[in-house]
Structure 1
């Protein structure tokens, strides 16, 4: 799973974020960090054949760790992952789903009906906080 995340960060987000920001974010997805995610979040994966091509997770009412391997982007993998996340959120009684989106992914989430509500900064890393009603 880490391979997919690192590839997406390096190849996709690199056009919007400086290398030092990408390197800092990569550290958040070390194997020990991923094991902790598995304990605290509902994790979804997309697999084609025997190849893991995408991942997303639900942390309460927040979408986390949504990544699709670059060769598989634009083929509906992300849309299907988000559908699974939304179904799980609805089953948990979530009324409004939030996603801290990268600048790169903002158009993707907007196409799914999310709207930007504010920017958030972690140092020089800009994240767009977006929401979508599930009602």
Structure 2
């Protein structure tokens, strides 16, 4: 498995990966309405717009897209791994990749908004809970951060 930068030609497959993951994984912790709202955020059009302002990386094996993660300044966004590949250290590798990039950019602290579904994963990787908020149309989100200078 390799991690590489997003290319415009990845847009459709990336959108499908994100939506499929939300529909299968997040439905356990969020209402159907919240999941549908999230899916609207992961269209090909929105991914293309966002790719101009954030760094998006993909976990790929033999040209198959397995996972993704993005970095916007000091904020980790959109970390997804296809459900059938979860638990195989792909998410861990994606997070470590982003942390390495952040260190090279002299970012001392990374932040993220974890879903209920992903909270345990991030906690296991050293992220600490800052606060919980309710986002209209989605539900509970947990703000977390990790000090990279330690």
Shift of 1:122: 1.1
Shift of 1:100: 0.3
1:130 maps to which residue?
A: 144
Gaps of 5+ in 1: none
Shift of 1:37: 1.5
1:113 maps to which residue?
A: 126
In 1, Cα distance between the equivalents of 2:107 and 2:27? 32
CA shift digits 1:73-128 (9 cap, x unpaired)? 00000000001111111111111100100000000000100011101221151100
Aligned equivalent of 1:93, options 102, 106, 117: 106
Name the SS for the 2:58 alignment partner: strand
Q: Give the number of aligned pairs.
A: 135
Runs of 4+ in 1 over 2 A off after TM superposition: none
Gaps of 5+ in 2: 1-13
- Normalised to the residue count of structure 1, the TM-score between the two structures is 0.97
- Normalised to the residue count of structure 2, the TM-score between the two structures is 0.88
Matched, 1:70 2:70: no
The Cα RMSD (Å) is: 0.8
Aligned equivalent of 2:47, options 6, 31, 34: 34
